[in-house]
């Protein structure tokens, strides 16, 4: 089953800066627009930078006669474009609203995609968070119907490797500290190892407000190419414990319960609450490490400002769990050090 994805008209007010494409890429877009029976004249708007090597642009055909498109430039030597193409088909076949691939140039990693709109869930929360979260749960539950063979497994070793990103890139490389291995090696190992105790489903892996676009009664989903078969709590933890938006504890509890009601999985509520908290802790630690790596390796500073609040939130999540008692003091110290570093940098 495929689903028609349309952006609500209210999201068509554009604020992005006008951009000029490389001449070769510009020519390719013009030729493809003509092939799609649109005008070859168009305007380009740069979209917000993300935590990858891909770049996105909104393409506005002259007069915008049949609507905008999105151009994705995804270097094939640095991004898994084959997985993107495959999972675009898989997700759509299971009723998930994802962009249609309208044109592609695989050698260069250029894709013209249908436009799911300019309104991200981060903005929609300000208007009606309940309606938006119901749509997000619709999409999440559809993703969880994708069978195991369609995506690779999310191995325990991979969770260990992700936590190493925090250790190596954030603590050691960016903050310049020695990782307190005696205190935290067992804690990090415990966060990774507990993931295999949960029921396993297809997980998007970046199911947060900047990858979710509310449409006409449906939630658009992007950045799905890294999907794996992993812990049931993973995508819900991404949604409710977001690097870019903070819910109150009462809201988290409400929507965690709503997921349990809608999923109908045989999950113990108390155990699942802990699973969501600690899955979020693992994921947010990985994210903080990635934000530091973006600056150190890729010269991208766009996500550094989220490091202090992300670390502080993990400290709050870990607070109630005695086996994680060694972690919050270090997290709060790192958060303070990160805030000072950002302040000194201006």
Q: Which residues is 55 bridged to in the sheet? A: 73
Q: What is the pLDDT of residue 39?
A: 77
- CA-only gyration radius of the chain, Å: 21
Instruction: Assess whether pLDDT exceeds 90 at residue 9.
Output: no
Residue 222 corresponds to which tokens in the numbers above? 């992007």
pLDDT digits over 245-266, tens only? 999 999 999 999 999 999 989 9
Given a contact cutoff of 8 angstroms between Cβ atoms, the answer to whether 249 and 280 are in contact is no
- Round to whole Å and give the CA distance between 148 and 312: 35
Q: What is the DSSP letter of 246?
A: B
Beta bridge partners of 111: 72, 104
The secondary structure of 133-147 as a DSSP string is HHHHHHHHHHHTTS-
User: Within 10 Å of residue 52's Cβ, how many Cβ atoms?
Assistant: 19
Q: What is the CATH number of domain 9-114?
A: 3.30.200.20
pLDDT tens-digit series, residues 273-323: 999 999 999 999 999 999 999 999 999 999 999 999 999 999 999 999 999
Average pLDDT (70-90) is 95
Distances in Å between the Cα of 287 and the Cα atoms of 108, 113, 333 are 28, 27, 18
Per-residue pLDDT band for 10 (boundaries 50, 70, 90) equals: very low
Query: 53: which 2 tokens?
Result: 């090597």
For 194-247, how does the pLDDT look when each residue is reduced to its tens digit (9 = 90+)?
999 999 999 999 999 999 999 889 999 999 999 999 999 999 999 999 999 999
Residue 172: its pLDDT value, please?
98
Q: What are 29's two structure tokens?
A: 């877009």
Distances (CA, A) of 211 to 69, 81, 199, 205: 17, 17, 24, 11
Cα 272 from Cα 287, distance rounded (Å): 22
Query: Does the pLDDT at position 17 exceed 70?
Result: no
Residue at token pair 């005008």 = 39
Q: Where are the domains of the chain?
A: 9-114, 121-345
- The DSSP string of 146-161 is S-GGGS-B--HHHHHH
Question: Fold identical between 9-114 and 121-345?
Answer: no
Strand ranges (DSSP E) for 79-216? Answer: 101-105, 110-114, 200-203, 212-214
CATH of 121-345, one of 3.30.930.10, 3.30.499.10, 3.90.1200.10, 3.10.310.70: 3.90.1200.10
Confidence at residue 49, expressed as pLDDT on a 0 to 100 scale: 64
pLDDT at res. 40? 75
* Burial (Cβ within 10 Å: 0-12, 13-18, ≥19) of residue 23: exposed
Q: Is the Cβ–Cβ distance between 296 and 173 less than 8 Å?
A: yes
Residues 128-164 have pLDDT tens digits of 789 999 999 999 999 999 999 999 999 999 999 999 9
pLDDT of residue 13: 46
pLDDT at 6: 56
User: Is the pLDDT confidence value at 8 over 90?
Assistant: no
- Cβ-based neighbour number of residue 11 at 10 Å: 18
């Amino acid at each position: 089953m495929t689903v028609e994805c349309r952006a609500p008209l209210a999201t068509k007010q554009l604020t992005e800066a006008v951009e000029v494409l490389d001449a070769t890429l510009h020519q390719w877009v013009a030729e493809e627009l003509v092939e799609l029976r649109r005008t070859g004249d168009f305007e380009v708007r740069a979209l917000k930078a993300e935590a990858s090597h891909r770049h996105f642009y909104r393409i506005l055909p002259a007069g915008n006669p049949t609507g905008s498109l999105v151009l994705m430039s995804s270097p094939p030597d640095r991004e898994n474009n084959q997985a993107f193409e495959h999972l675009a088909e898989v997700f759509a076949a299971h009723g998930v609203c994802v962009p249609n691939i309208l044109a592609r140039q695989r050698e260069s990693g250029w894709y013209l995609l249908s436009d799911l709109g300019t309104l991200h869930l981060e903005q929609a929360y300000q208007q009606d968070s309940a309606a938006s979260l119901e749509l997000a749960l619709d999409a999440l539950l559809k993703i969880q119907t994708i069978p195991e063979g369609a995506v690779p497994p999310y191995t325990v070793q991979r969770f260990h490797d992700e936590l190493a990103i925090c250790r190596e890139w954030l603590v050691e490389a960016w903050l310049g500290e020695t990782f307190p291995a005696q205190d935290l090696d067992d804690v990090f190992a415990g966060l990774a190892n507990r993931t295999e105790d949960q029921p396993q489903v297809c997980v998007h892996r970046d199911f947060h407000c900047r990858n979710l676009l509310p449409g006409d009664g449906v939630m658009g989903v992007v950045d799905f190419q890294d999907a794996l078969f992993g812990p049931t709590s993973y995508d819900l933890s991404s949604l409710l414990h977001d690097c870019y938006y903070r819910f109150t504890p009462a809201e988290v509890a409400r929507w965690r319960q709503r997921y349990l009601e809608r999923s109908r999985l045989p999950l113990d509520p108390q155990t699942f609450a802990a699973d969501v908290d600690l899955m979020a802790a693992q994921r947010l630690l990985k994210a903080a490490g990635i934000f530091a790596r973006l600056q150190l390796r890729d010269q991208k500073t766009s996500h550094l400002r989220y490091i202090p609040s992300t670390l502080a939130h993990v400290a709050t999540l870990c607070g109630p769990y005695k086996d994680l008692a060694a972690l919050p003091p270090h997290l709060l110290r790192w958060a303070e050090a990160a805030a000072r570093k950002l302040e000194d940098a201006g």
